[in-house]
Structure 1
Amino acid sequence: MNMLSQQTCEACKADAPKVSDEELALLIKEIPDWVQVSEDSILKLRRVYSFKNYQQAVDFTNKVAGIAEQENHHPDILLEWGRVTVTWWSHKIKGLHKNDFIMAAKTDELARVKS
């Protein structure tokens, strides 16, 4: 079990610091299946999850939505037949905060749990 997944998100304000390059290098090791992407000069975390059918993908999407509401931190979710793409970043700071790594780890935990 990933230690990040046991943490909770902190309230992120517009002046909260983005993760430093050093923090990024350490935190990304905790979520090795996630990739860093840059869109509109905003660094984000992204992972694609595969499923056997549409219903499994929908169920997973709903679980991600549930933890997002619980932690008050919300991703972009792209739902397709048999796959879900999840992208985490902190909107207020237009980049990555530790919350994003916590939520990526929590998302991975959801994917490990069999319904």
Structure 2
Amino acid sequence: MSDLKEHSCEACSPDAPKASAEEKQQLHKDVPDWEIRVVDGEEQLHRLFKLKNFAKALEFTNKVGDLAEAEDHHPVIVLEYGKVAVSWWSHEIGGLHKNDFVLAARTDAAFNDMA
């Protein structure tokens, strides 16, 4: 399987197709620590990251923010002492797109780089 974090994100318009069940199953294999949740009727990728303290959690939050800005694709980020929860989904289409899995993989890489 290819390294998902190296894949390009594509522009996602309101008429872009959501990831099919088969695509989600395949892509999810590359980001197994992420949970697929349904929130307000829309599927999202969600993961809770645990860090040493608030400063490290804030540093990680900023790294995720940089990823989001670079792709103009923005997650929900919840910052607590030693914890950061991240949820990726494509607001434009109301569900999951390949881009969400790519950014989840990049988020994992940013977290692993902090270790």
The match for 1:14 is 14
* 1:72 CA displacement: 1.1
Within 5 Å, give how 1:26-41 maps onto structure 2.
Answer: 26-41=26-41
Within 5 Å, give how 1:1-115 maps onto structure 2.
Answer: 3-114=3-114
With normalisation by structure 1, the TM-score equals: 0.96
> What letter corresponds to residue 15 of structure 2 in structure 1?
D
Is contact 1:78-1:85 (8 Å) kept? yes
* 1:9 CA displacement: 1.0
With normalisation by structure 2, the TM-score equals: 0.96
- Corresponding pairs, count: 114
Is contact 1:8-1:71 (8 Å) kept? no
Is contact 1:9-1:99 (8 Å) kept? yes
* 1:114 CA displacement: 2.6
> What letter corresponds to residue 113 of structure 1 in structure 2?
D
Q: Percent identity?
A: 49
Cα root mean square deviation, aligned: 1.1
| SS of corresponding position for 2:9 | coil
Is contact 1:10-1:99 (8 Å) kept? yes
| SS of corresponding position for 2:17 | coil
Residue segments in structure 2 that go unaligned for 5+ positions in a row: none
CA distance in 1, matches of 2:39, 2:58: 25
